[in-house]
């Protein structure tokens, strides 16, 4: 079974060098990213399956894998070509089993009446008879011993079948080296921690995964390997955090009466208790020279913007600069406008920076950022371009953080360290990220483990929950008649459609049934909302046009906006009370919630109408959840349940860490445990530089280094 005493097998032995492994298999495995024995051990079965001990034919149970042996009493071929099948009858003392082999006509020459066979497969009952389809088989010597009573049920690993390597082949290759290879596995967990957590040793865990004796062993092994993934990740997160805190200085922005007073003058309303608490948490961070790294999460409309403004004014009050990065031009423009309003009459000089700006305007803004004549910059991704150099950037705010990747956050942090001139006598700015996609606590810990988290858990006073209804498209007339009555009372509405024109919609859509922006806009103008002021808003409009439309909508000069999801995040027009979402089943849950958050922002109750004829169970489920709950947090949990964090956060760029065994939701207890253990470990050994830490450090850098951007630490 093993490679034999004189063949040295180590973890780096190429698969091709394992005696008895076909070259073809070695090449296929290498292509799958399994070049050597170490990788082979890490190529884990995705489940396990019981193979019952050999029994008599009469004892075969339907639908579980079992082995039986017996004598072939008859064979025959039926059908032709691809339909050809070979049948054999197997008998033992207890009964009869029919074997059926598809597509293997050559078996006619291999299996002959009078032979003894051992077969393994799933038996199915056909009427009174039992049948196995495409079983595995081996021919037995006529005088082979009958199975002894010692043969037990076996728990077998099932490997993902990929590129021509079957699970059985993978199992056979693993079996050749497992015993020897396990001997080379070193454990990175300190013995004491491992025992306290009742985890098996790493080598035992691999054995139990590849060749378990029981389901309990599989569970224990899985628990250990999942814990490892989470722990190593959390160690990385905490190491990075410790590194940042030890080696980088941010400007301390102490609280002074003058600064407090000037900030208060700028904020046009009483902060809610929740806002006040979060502002205090941020101010306390900013007062230190330890770089702040804080996430503010708050449901749509909870008032995160003023909290951000407060933080930025603390930088400006101390003679530094601040920046706010938003994920879309529309949102950046809106923040720029609302902040300009709040700052009107103050000394604060504010500017907008987006990619779409005319070159001349951009150049002068860049110059102002560099020489410090601009105090506060609101912008898009353009802010992280290499051409942007601040004189003294002390506070960075990133709005709707889930739309940005970890790398982008890191890039903005670097922006603080420009000049040796002037006030820039520090390494890095304080960073505040904000999100309205509420993150379940466990996920938050995983994704943003290096962040402190503040939560705005209440809405400003006077908010009424938005009423959500769903109607099918045949009742669209009624919906728009009702919208019309609202608009005639001076309220405003958003009408959201999935695409600008259906020709440009994604391939999956059915162009004939999709009501696109142009169609809806024209229809409403001609019929249902005729005589009212309607405008279109979407990403393909020029910035000037877009700004103009938004400004007129904000000023109440437009009654209804027909828009794509460009209005999804952050857009804030308190007089807008109605949102109608066409083809609502095509949107994701988080997206629908964000869209719904556009209304009910003033004193008047908001209403959200979802027009949908859902065609998939998921689509109906999302619509149902939307009607049932307005609470962003429980909604997000449902969303995570339905789709998993990878999907919720969209692409790889949103940075869900790559776990193979662990599932942050299912393993939330383990995650919490790993987080505590990692924090304690880093507390004792901040750089993992101790003699007992080397292996853990090496493994975490290999697994999670790139994702965590640990290059500077490693």
Indicate the residue among 101 and 448 with the shorter CB distance to ligand ADP: 448
Which range, of 137-145, 304-312, 349-357, 504-512, touches ligand ADP by CB under 6 A?
304-312
DSSP secondary structure letters along 259-302: HHHHHHHH--SPPPHHHHHHHHHHHHHHTSSSPPEEEEEE-TTS
Binding to ligand ADP, residues 411-470 (CB under 6 A): 436, 460
Counting Cα atoms < 13 Å in the Cβ hemisphere of 522 gives 7
Residue 569 in tokens: 């995040």
Which range, of 298-306, 313-321, 651-659, 675-683, touches ligand ADP by CB under 6 A?
298-306
Which range, of 508-516, 565-573, 590-598, 705-713, touches Mg ion by CB under 5 A?
565-573
567 contact, one of Mg ion, ligand ADP, none, CB 5-8 Å limit per kind? none
The CA-based dihedral angle spanning residues 614, 616, 622, 623, taken in that order and rounded to the nearest 10 degrees: 20
Question: Using an 8 Å Cβ cutoff, are 578 and 607 in contact?
Answer: yes
570 binds Mg ion (CB under 5 A): yes
Least spacing, CB of residue 540 vs Mg ion, in Å = 24
Measured in whole angstroms, the distance separating CA 91 from the mean position of its chain's CA atoms is 54
Indicate the residue among 252 and 602 with the shorter CB distance to ligand ADP: 602
Question: Using an 8 Å Cβ cutoff, are 325 and 384 in contact?
Answer: yes
CB count in 10 Å sphere of residue 169: 17
Indicate the residue among 272 and 502 with the shorter CB distance to ligand ADP: 272
Measured in whole angstroms, the distance separating CA 275 from the mean position of its chain's CA atoms is 28
Q: Which of 405, 574, 644, 686 binds ligand ADP (CB under 6 A)?
A: 574
Which range, of 223-231, 267-275, 284-292, 553-561, touches ligand ADP by CB under 6 A?
267-275
| String marking each residue 587-616 x if it binds ligand ADP according to CB under 6 A | --------------x---------------
306 binds ligand ADP (CB under 6 A): yes
Question: Using an 8 Å Cβ cutoff, are 396 and 379 in contact?
Answer: no
601 contact, one of ligand ADP, Mg ion, none, CB 5-8 Å limit per kind? ligand ADP
Is residue 672 classed as helix, strand or coil in its secondary structure?
helix
Which range, of 102-110, 359-367, 512-520, 570-578, touches Mg ion by CB under 5 A?
570-578
Distance CA 584, CA 588 (A): 9
Indicate the residue among 206 and 404 with the shorter CB distance to Mg ion: 404
Q: Name the H helices within 398-501.
A: 406-414, 441-447, 476-488
449 binds Mg ion (CB under 5 A): no
Question: Using an 8 Å Cβ cutoff, are 453 and 295 in contact?
Answer: yes
Distance CA 445, CA 201 (A): 26
Question: Using an 8 Å Cβ cutoff, are 682 and 242 in contact?
Answer: yes
Q: Which of 570, 600, 664, 705 binds ligand ADP (CB under 6 A)?
A: 570
Q: Which of 207, 304, 409, 476 binds ligand ADP (CB under 6 A)?
A: 304
Q: Which of 36, 167, 297, 302 binds ligand ADP (CB under 6 A)?
A: 302
269 contact, one of Mg ion, ligand ADP, none, CB 5-8 Å limit per kind? ligand ADP
Place of tokens 């804030």: 572
302 contact, one of ligand ADP, Mg ion, none, CB 5-8 Å limit per kind? ligand ADP
Q: What single DSSP character describes residue 165?
A: B
656: left (phi over 0), alpha (psi -120 to 50) or beta: beta
Indicate the residue among 449 and 570 with the shorter CB distance to Mg ion: 570
Q: For residue 362, give the H/E element and its range.
A: helix 359-371
301: left (phi over 0), alpha (psi -120 to 50) or beta: left
Indicate the residue among 570 and 664 with the shorter CB distance to Mg ion: 570
Residue 84 in tokens: 């050809």
For 138, list phi and psi in degrees, rounded to 5: -135, 150
Indicate the residue among 324 and 529 with the shorter CB distance to Mg ion: 324
Count the site residues for ligand ADP by CB under 6 A.
19
Least spacing, CB of residue 661 vs ligand ADP, in Å = 36
Distance CA 358, CA 568 (A): 25
298 contact, one of ligand ADP, Mg ion, none, CB 5-8 Å limit per kind? ligand ADP
| String marking each residue 90-129 x if it binds ligand ADP according to CB under 6 A | ----------------------------------------
Indicate the residue among 165 and 326 with the shorter CB distance to ligand ADP: 326
Q: Which of 36, 67, 131, 275 binds ligand ADP (CB under 6 A)?
A: 275
Residue at shortest CB range from ligand ADP: 303
The CA-based dihedral angle spanning residues 406, 411, 413, 418, taken in that order and rounded to the nearest 10 degrees: 170
- Strand segments (E) across 595-644: 607-611
Which range, of 109-117, 158-166, 170-178, 567-575, touches ligand ADP by CB under 6 A?
567-575
Indicate the residue among 272 and 564 with the shorter CB distance to ligand ADP: 272
Binding to ligand ADP, residues 491-550 (CB under 6 A): none
Which range, of 349-357, 541-549, 569-577, 681-689, touches ligand ADP by CB under 6 A?
569-577
Least spacing, CB of residue 299 vs ligand ADP, in Å = 7
Indicate the residue among 398 and 524 with the shorter CB distance to Mg ion: 398
Least spacing, CB of residue 648 vs ligand ADP, in Å = 18
Using CA atoms, how far residue 260 sits from 175, 208, 255, 263, 311, in Å, is 69, 61, 7, 5, 11
Least spacing, CB of residue 483 vs ligand ADP, in Å = 22
Question: Using an 8 Å Cβ cutoff, are 577 and 605 in contact?
Answer: yes
Distance CA 599, CA 74 (A): 76
Which range, of 174-182, 270-278, 310-318, 651-659, touches ligand ADP by CB under 6 A?
270-278
Residue 199 in tokens: 């985890």
Q: For residue 245, give the H/E element and its range.
A: helix 215-247
Given CA atoms 237, 238, 242, 245 in this order, what sign does their dihedral have? positive
Residue 203 in tokens: 């080598």
Indicate the residue among 72 and 571 with the shorter CB distance to Mg ion: 571
Residue at shortest CB range from Mg ion: 570
Q: Which of 269, 363, 421, 539 binds ligand ADP (CB under 6 A)?
A: 269
By C-alpha distance, which of 649, 652, 658 is closest to 33?
658
Question: Using an 8 Å Cβ cutoff, are 251 and 314 in contact?
Answer: no
303 contact, one of ligand ADP, Mg ion, none, CB 5-8 Å limit per kind? ligand ADP
Which range, of 134-142, 246-254, 279-287, 564-572, touches Mg ion by CB under 5 A?
564-572
Question: Using an 8 Å Cβ cutoff, are 134 and 121 in contact?
Answer: yes
| Residues that bind ligand ADP in the complex, under the rule CB under 6 A | 269-272, 275, 298, 300-306, 436, 460, 570, 572, 574, 601
Binding site for Mg ion (CB under 5 A): 570
């Amino acid at each position: 079974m093993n490679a034999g005493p004189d063949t040295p097998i180590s973890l780096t032995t190429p698969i091709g060098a394992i005696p008895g492994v076909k070259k073809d298999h070695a090449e296929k495995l290498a292509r799958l990213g399994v070049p050597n024995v170490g990788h082979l051990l890490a190529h884990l079965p995705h489940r396990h399956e019981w193979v019952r001990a050999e029994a008599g034919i009469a004892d075969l149970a339907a639908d579980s894998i079992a082995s039986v042996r017996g004598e072939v009493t008859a064979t025959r071929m039926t059908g032709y070509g691809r339909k050809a099948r070979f049948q054999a009858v197997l008998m033992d003392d207890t009964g009869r089993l029919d074997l059926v082999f598809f597509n293997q006509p050559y078996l006619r020459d291999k299996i002959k009446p009078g032979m003894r066979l051992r077969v393994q497969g799933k038996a199915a009952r056909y009427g009174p008879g039992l049948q196995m389809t495409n079983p595995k088989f081996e021919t037995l010597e006529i005088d082979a011993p009958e199975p002894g009573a010692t043969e037990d049920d076996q728990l077998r690993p099932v490997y993902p079948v990929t590129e021509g390597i079957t699970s059985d082949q993978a199992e056979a290759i693993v079996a050749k080296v497992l015993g020897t290879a396990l001997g080379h596995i070193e454990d990175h967990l300190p013995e004491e921690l491992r025992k306290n957590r009742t985890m098996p040793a790493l080598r035992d865990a691999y054995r139990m995964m590849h060749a378990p004796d029981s389901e309990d062993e599989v569970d224990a092994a899985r628990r250990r390997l999942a814990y490892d993934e989470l722990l190593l990740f959390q160690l990385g997160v905490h190491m990075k955090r410790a590194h940042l805190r030890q080696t980088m200085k941010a400007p301390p922005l102490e609280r002074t009466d003058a600064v407090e007073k000037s900030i208060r003058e700028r904020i046009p309303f009483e902060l809610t208790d929740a806002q006040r608490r979060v502002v205090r948490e941020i101010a306390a961070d900013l007062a230190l020279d330890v770089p702040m790294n804080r996430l503010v999460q708050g449901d749509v409309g909870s008032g995160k913007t003023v909290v951000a403004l407060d933080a930025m004014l603390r930088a400006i009050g101390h003679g530094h600069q601040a920046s706010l990065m938003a994920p879309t031009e529309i949102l950046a423009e809106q923040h720029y406008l609302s902040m300009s309003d709040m700052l009107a009459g103050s000394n604060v000089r504010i500017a907008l920076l987006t990619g779409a700006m005319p070159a001349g305007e951009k150049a002068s803004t860049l110059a102002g950022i560099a020489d410090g004549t601009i105090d506060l910059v609101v912008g898009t991704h353009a802010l992280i371009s290499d051409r942007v150099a601040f004189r003294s950037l002390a506070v960075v705010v990133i709005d709707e953080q889930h739309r940005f990747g970890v790398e982008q956050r890191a890039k903005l942090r670097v922006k603080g360290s420009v000049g040796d001139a002037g006030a820039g006598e520090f390494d890095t700015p304080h960073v505040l990220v904000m999100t309205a996609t509420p993150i379940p606590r466990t996920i938050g810990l995983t994704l943003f483990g290096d962040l402190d988290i503040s939560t705005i858990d209440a809405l400003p006073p006077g908010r009424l929950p938005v009423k959500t209804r769903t109607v099918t498209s045949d009742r669209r007339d009624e919906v728009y008649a009702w919208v019309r009555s609202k608009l005639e009372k001076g309220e405003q509405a958003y009408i959201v459609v999935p695409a600008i024109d259906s020709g440009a919609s994604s391939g999956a859509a059915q162009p004939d049934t999709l009501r696109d922006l142009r169609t809806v806009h024209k229809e409403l103008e001609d019929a249902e909302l005729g005589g009212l002021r309607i405008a279109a808003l979407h990403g393909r409009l020029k910035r000037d046009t877009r700004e103009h439309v938004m400004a007129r909508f904000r000023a109440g000069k437009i009654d209804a906006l027909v828009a794509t999801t460009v209005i999804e995040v952050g857009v804030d027009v308190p007089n807008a009370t109605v949102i109608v979402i066409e083809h609502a089943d095509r949107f994701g849950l988080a997206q629908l919630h964000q869209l719904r958050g556009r209304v009910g922002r003033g004193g008047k109750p908001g209403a959200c109408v979802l027009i949908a004829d859902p065609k998939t169970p998921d689509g109906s489920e999302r619509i149902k959840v939307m009607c049932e709950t307005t609470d962003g947090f429980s909604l997000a949990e449902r969303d995570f349940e339905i789709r998993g964090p990878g999907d919720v956060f969209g692409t790889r760029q949103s940075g869900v860490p790559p776990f193979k065994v662990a599932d942050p939701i299912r393993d939330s207890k383990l995650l919490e445990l790993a987080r505590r253990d990692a924090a304690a470990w880093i507390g004792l050994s901040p750089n993992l530089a101790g003699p007992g830490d080397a292996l853990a450090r090496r493994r975490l850098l290999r697994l999670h280094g790139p994702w965590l951007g640990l290059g500077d630490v490693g």
